[in-house]
Structure 1
Amino acid sequence: MNRVVYWLVSGFIALMLISSMVFVVDQRRFALVFALGEVKDVIATPGLHFKLPPPFQNVVYLDKRILTLDTPDADRFITAEKKNILVDAFVKWRIVNPKLYYVSFTGDASRAKDRMSQIVKAALNDEITKRTVREVISGERAKVMEAVRVKVANDAAQIGVQIVDVRLKRVDYIEQINNSVYERMKAERTRVANELRSTGAAESEKIRADADRQRTVILAEAFRDAEKIKGEGDAKASQIYSEAFGKNPEFYKFYRSLEAYRNTFNKQSDVMVLDSNSEFFKYFKNPGAGK
């Protein structure tokens, strides 16, 4: 019985010893093998590996995937025009020298992120201070990102990090500048609106004046044509009257007298005081004179 227990205990100890000497490296991680606090080996090949049992050797793992450094708040920078803008950027990075990275930050990931944030901020400050607001926001945004990436890559290489990409998520004015920009845009739009109103009013007056001119011309031409037709009619009537008068002058006088009587005595209230021997009553006294 004692021998069985002895072999079970020995087997368990041997199993624990073997398990402490075996470790698995995932394809997404680096493995740093330490011996008495010093990095002895860096393993990047995935698979099963062996080491000495603790405390002689131990293993620390580092992520080899592309990571993202994204600050929660935008940073303030000053442009070449001495104007403040807010810039929100993010960085894609990965560890390419695990030993240098670990030694630089003693394995503290927060220290590594703080260091890279400082590098990115310094590079952004160098590039933005050389450019105007317009260039940073739209004109040379791609150039700014590329220049920042190159500068950050050179500094990050010294701590075992490769910078894959640098992007500006948002570039905006601070609140005070936003208000001034909005006021300037409002004033510009108001000026354009006033110019359009003035142009519209001028065009309206021009169209109205042209319409009035055309109306005056049309009325004048219509009056001219009417007077012409009226004149032609009067001439024709005069010609007819003249021809009728020439054929029978006495009858013409009689007919004209009848028209005069009709127009004169068309109302009962009309009163005329004339001499009975007046020429007006010629055909009253002698009706047969017009035959």
Structure 2
Amino acid sequence: MIRNIFSCIIICVITLLLFSLFTIKEGHKGIILRFGKVLRDTDNKPLICNPGLHIKIPFIETVKILDSRIQTMENQADRFVTMEKKDLIIDSYIKWRISDLSRYYLATGGGDTSQAEVLIKRKFSDRLRSELGRLNVQGIVTDSRNKLMADVRESLNNGTSGEESMDFQFSNIKKINCYQSMNNASIHKDYYISNSFNPNSMAALGIEIVDVRIKQINLPTEVSDAIYQRMRAERDAVARRHRSQGREEAEKLRATADYEVTRTLAEAKRQSLIIRGEADAETARLYATTFNEDPSFYILIRTLRAYENSFKKTNDDLIILNEESDFLRFMKSPKKFTAH
């Protein structure tokens, strides 16, 4: 009997230890809830459990473990209007993390990440729309984009002048934390006011915006089509102008080439006539010189050429000459040859 009681006590102690001990992984933090309320210290600050092994009161206290790492939220591409009343389709993303676990837990209905992203997206969209309304398209797509992102991040973290009412924030907290008492809600309200957080900032929700970036900026489809059509028409006009200029230059080059060809041929013909004339003159001079030096040899050469032209094999003409003709004198006996 005593052994059974002792065994039951040991089992109860082990069970209590199992329900009392809990661990928190690296990159996460936890808050302790006692009867559904955030457990706080004497300074009204929530008790935060860092990564490691911790102890809680079983069946009375529960632990809510939250991811304290930087989260990335992809925003769906949305339409925004610039200062020039031009529409832009902007695709962006947000880097955020939990800065205050207690406020985050209350504002998001028990640490719901999807609820936190809904709140972030709503505030980010409003803030980005306001900032883009003060810039033109050129300023958005150039160096002003970095300043734009920095301004949006600062305004989200610190809030803006157009603050929402404190009652709205805490009515939202009470709706998603209906299990908490009115006194607890008032305590949290005093805690917010004492820390002087802008109720329109993400800090009031226990969230810190680490970075905001624009991934892509596009024009709406109807505007893009119109711009492409206009660009295509402008490029076609430029192409036609270049083609006409090219044809004009081609005609000029062709005319210049034709002129150069004609001039070169004329100059070549002139040079050939000059050379031929000089050659004929030189030939005549040589003939004259030869004739003057040896008239009989000249007569012989000219007569032999006349024979060659008269007695060709292909010449079918019939020549009848007197044997006493002087044309045939070189065909007679050399004894009868007499030079004239």
Range of TM-score over shorter length: 0.7 to 0.9
2:224 corresponds to 1:178: yes
Structure 1, residues 101-156: CA drift from partner, whole Å, max 9, x if none?
A: 11222323222110000111122212222233343334533333222222222222
Q: After superposition, where does 1:1-291 map in structure 2 within 5 Å? A: 1=1, 3-41=2-40, 42-55=47-60, 57-71=61-75, 73-107=76-110, 108-154=112-158, 155-237=201-283, 239=285, 291=340
Deviations 1:243-275 (A, max 9, x none): 6888999xx99x999999x999x9889xxxxxx
Per the TM alignment, residue 175 of structure 1 is displaced from its structure 2 partner at its CA by: 1.3
Matched position secondary structure for 2:134:
coil
State how far apart, in whole Å, the 1-side matches of 2:109 and 2:293 are. 141
* Structure 2 length-normalised TM: 0.67
User: Does the residue aligned with 2:53 lie in a helix, a strand or coil?
Assistant: strand
Per-residue displacement from partner, 1:151-201 (whole Å, max 9, x unpaired)? 222222221111111121222122112212322332233233333323332
**CA distance in 1 between partners of 2:103 and 2:203 (Å):** 9
5+ residue gaps in structure 2?
41-46, 159-200, 318-324, 328-336
- Match of 2:103, SS state, is helix
Tell me the CA shift for residue 52 of structure 1. Answer: 2.5
* Alpha-carbon distance, 1:94 to partner: 0.7
Shift of 1:62: 1.2
Matched residue SS, 1:53: coil
Q: Report the alpha carbon displacement of residue 223 of structure 1 after superposing the two structures with TM.
A: 1.6
Tell which deviates more after alignment, 228-237 or 101-110: 228-237
Quick one: percent identity of the two aligned structures?
34
Mapped partners of 1:20, 1:258: distance in 2: 144
Partners of 1:156 and 1:203 in 2: CA distance: 68
Q: How many residues align?
A: 278
Give the TM-score taking structure 1 as reference length: 0.77
Structure 1 distance, partners of 2:245, 2:17, is: 92
Relative contact order, CA 8 A, sep 6+: which one is greater? 2
Cα distance, 1:50 vs. partner? Answer: 2.5
What 5-or-longer segments of structure 1 have no aligned partner? 270-281
Return the alpha-carbon distance in structure 1 between the equivalents of residues 289 and 33 of structure 2.
143
Give the aligned CA root-mean-square deviation in angstroms: 3.6
Mean CA deviation greater in 7-16 or 151-160: 7-16
State the alpha-carbon separation in 2 of the partners of residues 40 and 193 from structure 1.
75
Structure 1 residues 21 and 228: CA distance shift in structure 2, 3 A: same
